[in-house]
Amino acid sequence: MSDRKATLTLDGKSYDLPVLSPTVGPDVLDIRKLYGEADVFTYDPGFTSTAACESTITYIDGDVGELLYRGYPIEQLAEKSSYLESCYLLLYGELPTHDQLSDFTARVTRHTMVHEQMHQFYRGFRRDAHPMATMVGVVGAMSAFYHDSTDVNDPWQREVAAIRMIAKLPTIAAMAYKYSVGQPFVYPKNSLSYAGNFLSMCFAVPAEDYVVSPILEKAMDRIMLLHADHEQNASTSTVRLAGSSGANPFACIAAGIACLWGPAHGGANQACLEMLKEIGTVDRIPEYVAKAKDKNSGFRLMGFGHRVYKNFDPRAKVMKESADEVLGLLGIDNNPLLQVAKELERIALEDEYFISKKLYPNVDFYSGIILEAMGFPTSMFTPIFAISRTVGWISQWKEMIAEKNQKIGRPRQLYIGAPRRDYVDLRHR
């Protein structure tokens, strides 16, 4: 470690803050001893300037629009890799050999079924329950069924829990969809690919044979790969914080799913498509751009902006190309929503408000257009994000649990409430 230091001067006293250097990215001021030495906290409510952990998994350079999974650029992985191969990379740190990938794929494939009794859960929900509500409940309940993979201190149980969740999340999400449309659950098929199996569990019906479309299978796999991990985003930070208490892995992933649901985060893909539908036609775009620029409107362009990317989200670029390709292959390239999205992007990126605030389309801007073209209702967009991100959550959780001096996360606060005061009896109030 270098001996570079920053010096903080406060009330005439100086405090040395060691400077930690990353492989790539900004240097980090180590303030772990600050409170003990200077009796002060730092204040950063949205964690805009705060590194909460060390990690070797994913790196984002928001200024140039770069995203690396274990050092590999997302564009190269989207073109040449697959979701399960990227899962292996995120989990174990290196691209697998042929045999390693075959073994990993076989292990995931053999865990795709859920305990038969879990089917009863779904009947307790209303048919119109949002699938994210169902997923939070069912994933959290997995700890009630898979007791042999809940001991976070046992590396083997951590490994089994990881495989089980990567394998079962598509099944759980597909069952939530089937339940919402009143169709029977479709069991996983080991002969299908990860993405193909998910499409089959969502769209196959007992009345006829279902053939997975290679176009949709490839598009689904690419969408999952693009969403697999993304540094310390809100839901990943939720999983890490839940995991820091020693909670079982299923409970931690359920917490991540709950956080992802918000429209400022993973819920944006559903909100974005609903926004594009509300805009409806290209001639109404200026009205909505004006609303997005009006602070008092409370309206934001969903699928636009990002805490880290102050340039293009590289995933949005790949997603836009994929939207053109998939809709073209499906013969719906004149899709009005795609036209509205492209024109909205063009207008916004020429507008000073968006330019000055460095607001670009993010991963959620185009994904919904592809998912709707595949036949998914908007309510299934965030569940698909959750399926994809499960490997990222688990990889980050495993990294945290394995840290030798791992501590429970416990932020402090800037207290601006009432100072100590005595109780006042009711008769004197």
Chain residues binding ligand SDX by CB under 6 A are: 46, 230, 233, 264-266, 268, 292, 300-308, 357, 359, 362-364
Contact (Cβ atoms closer than 8 angstroms) between residue 250 and residue 161? yes
Grouping H, G, I as helix, E, B as strand and the rest as coil, residue 205 is strand
Residue that the structure tokens 């193909």 belong to: 196
Q: Is the sign of the CA dihedral 324, 329, 333, 335 positive or negative?
A: negative
Pairing of strands 5-10, 66-69: unpaired
**Active-site residue identified among 364, 422, 425, 428:** 364
CA 418 → CA 40, 414, 415, 421, distances in Å?
A: 20, 12, 9, 8
Pick the closer one to ligand SDX by CB: 251 or 348: 348
Smallest separation, CB 46 to ligand SDX (Å)? 6
Grouping H, G, I as helix, E, B as strand and the rest as coil, residue 245 is coil
Smallest separation, CB 365 to ligand SDX (Å)? 7
Is 364 among the residues known to form the active site? Answer: yes
Residue facing ligand SDX at closest CB distance: 305
Pick the closer one to ligand SDX by CB: 218 or 306: 306
Smallest separation, CB 35 to ligand SDX (Å)? 26
Contact (Cβ atoms closer than 8 angstroms) between residue 313 and residue 306? yes
CA distance 387 to 248: 19
**Active-site residue identified among 227, 230, 306, 313:** 306
Joined together, the tokens standing for residue 331 give 């013969």
Quote the DSSP letter at residue 362: -
Pick the closer one to ligand SDX by CB: 362 or 396: 362
CA distance 184 to 173: 14
Smallest separation, CB 306 to ligand SDX (Å)? 5
Pick the closer one to ligand SDX by CB: 189 or 300: 300
Smallest separation, CB 350 to ligand SDX (Å)? 15
Smallest separation, CB 353 to ligand SDX (Å)? 7
Pick the closer one to ligand SDX by CB: 192 or 387: 387
Beta carbons within 8 Å of 81's beta carbon, 6+ residues apart? 72, 89, 95, 225
CA 11 → CA 1, 33, 38, 280, 414, distances in Å?
A: 29, 18, 10, 59, 19
Pick the closer one to ligand SDX by CB: 143 or 362: 362
CA distance 247 to 150: 9
Is 30 among the residues known to form the active site? Answer: no
Pick the closer one to ligand SDX by CB: 213 or 311: 311
Q: List the beta bridge partners of residue 28.
A: 20
Contact (Cβ atoms closer than 8 angstroms) between residue 249 and residue 139? no
Smallest separation, CB 339 to ligand SDX (Å)? 20
Active site (catalytic) residues: 306, 364
